[in-house]
Amino acid sequence: MEASPETFVTRASDLSAGRPAPEWPVHGGAVDGFSARAGDGGRVQILALSESATARQRRAFVRARSEWLERADTERLVSVVATGDEPRPWLAVDPPSDPAKPLSAAAVRSIMIDLAEAFWLIESADRPVPTREAVRIDPTAERARVCWPLEAESTPADGVDRIARLGAELLTGETPPPERPFDWPQNGPPPRLWQTIESVLAGSSSIRSCYELKRALLFGPTTPPVERSPPEPSEPDQSGESATQSLPEQVSRRTLVGVLGVGALGATGLFARGTGREGGETEADSGPPQASFSFEQGQTTLTVTHTGGDPIEAGNLVVRNTRVSGIGAYRWSDYEGYDEETMVTEGDSIVIDRGVLSMWYAYVGWEDPTGDREVVLERRQISEEDLYS
């Protein structure tokens, strides 16, 4: 017999037995969402694995929940009220409130990329892009969380427009008018962010999908899309193209992540890559270094080794987990024995010991010290056996 929503509340030590209402049931079928009242009188959001979820979806949900708990401690990403596994895996988080002030350009760019990534996941799984009426933001000095509510369905272009309007509103504190140019404040956002949002709102942009919007936010609005299919794991990407992440083709896995990303909390800083470093020894027209790397995965670790090619400054090397940036970024220069100027040569390696269980892709990226560009040097797609064993 299917457990009632009340079961999840009564089994959470920090929650009262108040009757929750299914205010935002999540699309996708793998995760159920409920709103419940906490013991202090506030509201919390319950994410619980549905009765119809497969064994694979259950394992993915549990791993995603573990990753959220890790982020909550290290990045103040979400406030987890309680978790449990009976009668099904679940977690409770505090819901965000209404916006109190405009956010910084960096936070807005991160939120827009986060939403575009989640929308793209759902589009890739041939599911409608979820939307609803209001969007709620909770900006603080340390974090900015966005709750993107759900509705029936819309087209990918509708998702692009909604994300652009959200970005304009978060930057200025004002709702952009639907039929006239938007007047930016005197100290407006950075040119790239401003140009991307303005072109979408003015209807003059060539961006027609959330995938293209994410690329424009990451690499500039004039950057043409590149092939999404990654090279074979054994062959380094030496094309010189900027990094673009293509996720595994398992629709069930992408659908679940899309559900978690949009239906729950999309948080600032998850997927936005920082600007390139200044200085360094590489000339602007010298092209990316030519080097190869290997990946060796243990039970809870990932060892990345330089296996040949050009020496590279550790300050320009980054290993990324799954998406183009954020919580899954591991800078080579942060590891013992390396600093910004240490040259990484053949045989040098680092051992990543956090976030490994949640990896779907891992890749080594070279950040161009002369500009805002990142080049993929080596990729690895984590196999089904690695991810679900």
The predicted-structure confidence for 185-236, as pLDDT tens digits, reads as follows 555 555 667 778 888 887 777 887 877 887 788 766 543 333 334 334 444 4
Q: Are 247 and 360 found together in one domain?
A: no
Q: 54-82: per-residue pLDDT in tens? A: 777 777 777 777 766 665 544 444 566 77
The CATH number of the domain holding residue 146 is 1.10.510
Q: Which domain holds residue 77?
A: 5-93
Q: Are 238 and 142 found together in one domain?
A: yes
Burial of 171 (0-12, 13-18, 19+ CB in 10 A): buried
Residue 203 in any domain: the answer is yes
Q: Are 111 and 256 found together in one domain?
A: yes
Gyration radius from the chain CA atoms: 21
Quote the pLDDT of residue 350. Answer: 94
Q: Are 245 and 296 found together in one domain?
A: no
Q: Are 307 and 177 found together in one domain?
A: no
Residues of the chain with pLDDT under 50: 1-5, 10-28, 73-77, 96-100, 128-153, 222-285, 323-327, 384-389
Q: How do strand 80-84 and strand 43-49 relate by DSSP bridges?
A: unpaired
**Rounded-to-10 torsion of CA 242, 113, 259, 226:** -30
Residue 355 in any domain: the answer is yes
Quote the pLDDT of residue 157. Answer: 66
Report CA-CA distances (Å) from 194 to 2, 119, 148: 49, 21, 22
Q: Are 85 and 224 found together in one domain?
A: no
Helices (H) and strands (E) in the chain, counts: 8, 16
Structurally, the chain folds into a number of domains equal to: 3
Q: How do strand 349-352 and strand 361-367 relate by DSSP bridges?
A: unpaired
Stated pTM of the model? 0.35
Residue 276 in any domain: the answer is no
Report CA-CA distances (Å) from 312 to 365, 368, 380: 11, 11, 20
Using CA atoms, how far apart are residues 99 and 189, in angstroms rounded to an integer?
Answer: 18
Quote the pLDDT of residue 221. Answer: 53
